[in-house]
Amino acid sequence: MHKQALVLSAFALFVVILVSGCTQEAPPMNETSGRQAKLSVEPEFIAGNGTVTVRITPTRDNVLSGHVSIFLEDVPENARIAYVAFYRPSTGNMLDALNHPDTVLEELQPFNNWETFIDTTKMEDGIYKLGVAMADERLMEEGPWIGWLETEVVISNSG
User: Can you give the CATH number for the domain in which 151 is found?
Assistant: 2.60.40.3760
pTM (2 decimals)? 0.68
The answer to whether residues 62 and 135 belong to one domain is yes
The answer to whether residues 103 and 149 belong to one domain is yes
The reply to whether 81 falls in a domain is yes
Residues 6+ apart with CB under 8 A from 145: 133, 134, 135, 139
Tens-digit pLDDT profile for the chain (159 aa)?
A: 555 544 445 444 444 444 444 444 433 433 333 333 333 345 788 888 888 899 999 988 789 999 999 999 989 888 888 989 999 999 988 888 888 999 999 999 888 899 999 999 999 999 999 999 888 876 655 667 888 899 999 999 986
The answer to whether residues 61 and 9 belong to one domain is no
Q: What is the widest separation between alpha-carbon atoms in the chain?
A: 97
The answer to whether residues 25 and 58 belong to one domain is no
Task: Return d(Cα 45, Cα 61) in angstroms, integer.
Answer: 8
The answer to whether residues 77 and 114 belong to one domain is yes
Work out how many domains the chain is built from and give that number. Answer: 2
Strands, sheet with 81-87, edge to edge from the N-terminal-most edge strand: 63-64, 147-155, 126-135, 81-87, 104-108
The answer to whether residues 49 and 77 belong to one domain is yes
Task: Return d(Cα 124, Cα 157) in angstroms, integer.
Answer: 8
The answer to whether residues 24 and 69 belong to one domain is no
The reply to whether 36 falls in a domain is no
The reply to whether 17 falls in a domain is yes
Range of the domain at 74: 42-155
**Half-sphere exposure of residue 68: CA atoms within 13 angstroms, side-chain side:** 31
